[in-house]
Structure formats: structure tokens, C-alpha cells
Structure 1
Amino acid sequence: MLYSKLTYKITFLTTFLIGCFFLPAQIMQDSTKIKEDKTTLELLKHDTKQTLKSVGYSFTRPLHWKGKDFSKLGGLLVGTIALSSLDNETNRFFERNSENFPKGIRDFGWYFGSPQNYFITNAGLYGFGLLTKNEKIRKTSVLVISSSITNGVINSLLKGSVGRARPNHTGDPFDFQLFSSEPGYHSFPSGHTALSVTMSHAIAKQFDNIWVKIGVYGIGAVAPISRLVDGAHWLTDIAFSAALSIIVVDSIDKFLFNSKAYNYTKPPKNISWNFTFSANQIGLIGTF
């Protein structure tokens, strides 16, 4: 018990220091200077407007999809279905090793992926950027919150309609009760994964240093892994949520760049997804 509490405190403290001091400091180094005649209120209005426009863009974008866009969606769905063949095996693996997994890290993953803690964290990040009038931090927060709203709505709709049973509920990955209101049938997709991956990907995109990226993505991976260990989600719930979150972040980031709402030092880098299927390999591969 003492070890678990200590692990949790150390993990939380480390993440807090990275989020509150290291990341803002790194972003400040190459942040674009803004005009001195803009007040804090004006910046707040501008960021709020861009957030609403980004959310509106993300929900209306499917109306402008072309063939390749539908192909990508089909690849995501086919890849998810193919990956479901591994759901039972991965669930048994995490179930066998759950007792050896540090409880502090499991708790951190749950808290970090919880909506209330997640939005408090982003509010703190945005508040820092607003008070210091740092455009890059503000833009990053706008990217996080607009992507989170988009993913949140999509996740809520899918959870309530798909009705997939959680591993710790029935233990059957192919047990569905469409439009079920029972929490035990809200496995697909993973809300914790959507939030943690959204934030980690949005922040990691701001850096070129590979080690910083690895650290940020590492923190973002804690919540998805902890949900697998807790038996709250299947592997495909996690994979689909992660892929969808990355796609949404990349799409909104590209929109903000094209709209010239903020000064980008370089075009945003997106991840290209490719579906793979062979005798010993099933899944989606993202190329940076």
C-alpha cells in the first residue's frame, strides 16, 4: 500500500512538473510575439472564436469528404474489426499480470483520463498562455479543447449506440446491446484513451525533439494501458479511440494553420495511417 501511494505521488509530481514548468518553458523558447495593443480579454475572445470555429469545422468536414477520405475511414473500421481477433488474448494477458502492475500508475491513468481532471489541466495550461500572452501555448490549448469536444461528442454517441460489453462485465468482446444505458455496455470506444491521446498528441506536435515527444506520448499512454489492466476496455476500444483522436487533432491543427488564426513557424505534421494485414501482422500503422 505504501509503495502504491508513493508511486502515485512520484508519478503525479513528475507529470505536474513537466506540464507546469518544462513544457511551457520549451514552448516559450520559440513562441511568436504578439502585438502589444492586444488585451487579455481580446485574446480570450479570439481563442474562444477559434475554438468554436474549429469544432464547427470538424463536424462539417465529412460533408466535403472525397474518395480518399472515405477510404481512410473504411481502413480504420476494417482495421478495428481485424484487430478484434486479438481482444480475448490481450485481455487474458493483462488479467494475468494485473496484480503486478503498480496501482499508483493505474490510479494516475484513471485520474488523468477523467474529464474533470483533464479539463482542469488544460485550463491551467491555457491560463498560463493567456496570462503570459504566449501565442503558442494558447494555440495548443485551443487545439486540445476543440479536439476534445469533437472526440467527446463522437465517443458519447458511439458508446450509447454500439453498446459493447466491457471485459469485466461479461468477458465477451462480441456481446452487444445496442443503445444500452447500462455502463457495463459502454466499452466502445474508450473515453479515457480519447482524452489522454488527444492532449498528448496535441502537445507532442509542438516539439521537434524526439525525446520530448517520447516523454509526452509516454504520459499519454498511461491511461489507455491502465484501462486495459483494469479490464475496462478491449484492445480494439483503445486502438480505435487512439487513431480517431490523432486524426481529429491533425485535422483541426491543419484547419488552424490554413485559416492563419495563429502564426505557425512551419506546417503541421500529420500522421499517415496504413492498414496492414498478413499472416503475423494485423492493425494500423501510423507514419510520422
Structure 2
Amino acid sequence: MPFKYVFILFCYCVLQSSALFSQNELYKIDQDSSSTWTLFKYDVNTTWQGVKYSFTKPLDWKGKDFAKLGGLIIGTATLSLADEEGRRFFNRQQEDFPNLVRDFGWYFGSPQNYFMANAGIYGFGLLTKNEKVRRTSVLIITSSITSGFLQTIAKNGFGRARPDTGLGRYYFKLFSKEAGHHAFPSGHTILSVTMSHAIAKQFNNTWTKIGIYTVGAIPPISRLIDGAHWLTDVAFSTALSIIVVDSVDKFLFKNESHGISNPKPNKRITWNMSFGANKIGVIGTF
């Protein structure tokens, strides 16, 4: 099928970009005598420590952290007022939206394909002993485990009806096992945004970042076009993915994972949630 080749081409481009940047000081190749097995065990342990950190971090939250959580919840609830209009808008785009793009969005956001892609990225980093690529893959898998677990609990717990069921934006069937009641949050969005945000963090070029985020936006947009999710499902999932990736990234830098220390602040992208009486959004500063 055509979309499979598009997906494979995308993964190939990621690996080639990693190889290219490994030639400068940002991507240093591990030249020590550590065996591949030793490096693998180190990465597994780092992933485990990162996951533990992610789930225990809320125990150290302060007032501003709870305020951000409250803002996210309130912002999502406010945005839900536009869910019906959003559904009608995306429904009107179905006929003109390219099938190839829709197929790619579904394929890339599916768990089995997502983890296959990350396995390829990690395998490349491990075999070449590329510290930066290995660290990026650890960031992706750690963040995916964390956000994936949270979305699974929420999806089954809330039991929100999908748009294509016709039950409405505020229909919830708690703890439902029916696929039609697993709208919130969006699993495809969480996986695609997690990977794209983690990879984009590794580049300094603004246009490269924009290109990566554009590819990462395809799955959530495709799911909206397909009527599988409400706008709030995608918005909340995007915010959750960004928060988790940034948190894990800070943890890795704090512990100088893979011997990589935090770069200068002006060379990194920062994301902030913006909420107000008549606005909600995610602001990225390059």
C-alpha cells in the first residue's frame, strides 16, 4: 500500500538526518570501549528511571504546578464549547482531504508502527554508538510509556463517545470497553506528538522543527477528519504529550543522561499553555 512507503521514507529521513548531525559537536559518537550490551542495559535502566520519575513527580508538585493542571482542565472544558462546530468543519473536509495523508496519519499513529519506527531509530543509535540518537529514542519511549499509560486509564475511565457515534460531545459511558466510547484522549495524537516533539527538540534549525511538527500533526488532523475524535480530545492529548516529553527531557538533562548536558536556553524550543476568557492555545518559542 502506498502509505507504507511514505511512512518508511519518513523513518529513513529521520535516520539520515541523525547521521548527518552526528558529524558535528551536537551529535557526538560514543568512542569508548563499552560493549553494545552494556549500552543497551544502560538505556533500559535510564528508561526505567525516567518512567519512575514521571509517575512520582506529582508528589513534589507545588502551587504553580497544580495551577497549570487546573488551567489545562478548565481550558479543555472551555474548548469543548467548540467541539460540535469543529466536528462539522472537519466533516466538510473529508471529500477533499487526500487519502494518502489520511492513511499515513493512521499508520504513523498506530502503536505497532510507532514502536517499530522508534525501534529502528534506537537500533541505529545503538549499533553506531551514537549517544544523541540513543538518548532521543530513550526520551521517546519513556515519554510514550508515561503518556500512553495515562491515556489508557483516561480513555477507559471516561468512556467518552466518539463524534461518529452521533451521541454528542458530552456523552460519557464510564469504564466502557466499547471502541465507540474511547474518544478521550486521542492515542494517535499522543504518540505522534510525543515522537515529533522529542525529535524536534534535537534540532536548532527553526524550519527543521516546523517540518517535523508538521509531520507530527498529520495523525491528529486525520483523526479529526475521520470523525474519530473531538477537537478537545486532540488538544488535551497534544498538551499532555508536550508536558510529559518536556518533563522527561529535563530529567535526562539533570542526570546528564548519555553524557549530554543541557544546551544553552536560547537554542531550545519552549512550549507554554495559554488560557483566557476567550482563548486557549499552545505557544512555542524558538
Q: TM-score range by the shorter chain?
A: over 0.9
Identity of aligned residues (%): 53
Counterpart check, 1:259 vs 2:258: no
Q: Distance in 2 between matches of 1:284 and 1:96?
A: 24
1:90 to 86, 91, 95: 86
Q: Secondary structure at the match of 2:272?
A: strand
Counterpart check, 1:77 vs 2:84: no
Shift of 1:19: 2.1
Greater mean deviation of Cα atoms: 193-202 or 95-104:
95-104
Q: Deviations over 1:8-61 (max 9, x none)?
A: 367435423322323442344331242422111110010000000000000000
Letter in 1 for 2:21: Q
Corresponding residue for 1:21?
16
Q: Secondary structure at the match of 2:173?
A: coil
Q: Secondary structure at the match of 1:36?
A: coil
Q: Deviations over 1:204-254 (max 9, x none)?
A: 000110111011101100000000000000000000000000000000000
Q: What are the within-5 Å matches in structure 2 for residues 187-206 of structure 1?
A: 187-206=183-202
Greater mean deviation of Cα atoms: 263-272 or 49-58:
263-272
Corresponding residue for 1:31?
27
Alpha-carbon contact 1:198-1:249 (below 8 Å) kept:
yes
Greater mean deviation of Cα atoms: 199-208 or 260-269:
260-269
Alpha-carbon contact 1:109-1:222 (below 8 Å) kept:
yes
Letter in 1 for 2:228: A
Letter in 1 for 2:272: W
Corresponding residue for 2:243?
247
Gaps of 5+ in 2: none
Letter in 2 for 1:220: G
Q: What are the within-5 Å matches in structure 2 for residues 80-229 of structure 1?
A: 80-229=76-225
Q: Secondary structure at the match of 1:223?
A: helix
Q: Secondary structure at the match of 1:168?
A: helix
Shift of 1:170: 2.3
Shift of 1:267: 5.5
Alpha-carbon contact 1:11-1:105 (below 8 Å) kept:
no
Letter in 2 for 1:172: G
Shift of 1:264: 2.9
Normalising by the residue count of structure 1, what TM-score does the alignment of the two structures yield? 0.92
Greater mean deviation of Cα atoms: 19-28 or 222-231:
19-28
Shift of 1:181: 1.0
Corresponding residue for 1:12?
7
Shift of 1:117: 0.2
Letter in 1 for 2:261: Y
Greater mean deviation of Cα atoms: 54-63 or 261-270:
261-270
2:281 to 271, 281, 284: 284
Gaps of 5+ in 1: none
Greater mean deviation of Cα atoms: 91-100 or 265-274:
265-274
Shift of 1:97: 1.4
Q: What are the within-5 Å matches in structure 2 for residues 42-53 of structure 1?
A: 42-53=38-49
Q: Distance in 2 between matches of 1:265 and 1:175?
A: 45
Q: Distance in 2 between matches of 1:214 and 1:10?
A: 22
Normalising by the residue count of structure 2, what TM-score does the alignment of the two structures yield? 0.93
Alpha-carbon contact 1:250-1:270 (below 8 Å) kept:
no
Shift of 1:260: 1.6
Q: Distance in 1 between matches of 2:60 and 2:262?
A: 28
Q: Secondary structure at the match of 1:76?
A: helix
Shift of 1:66: 0.5
Q: Secondary structure at the match of 1:266?
A: coil
Alpha-carbon contact 2:11-2:117 (below 8 Å) kept:
no
Q: Distance in 1 between matches of 2:5 and 2:84?
A: 33
Letter in 2 for 1:271: T
Q: Distance in 2 between matches of 1:194 and 1:9?
A: 21
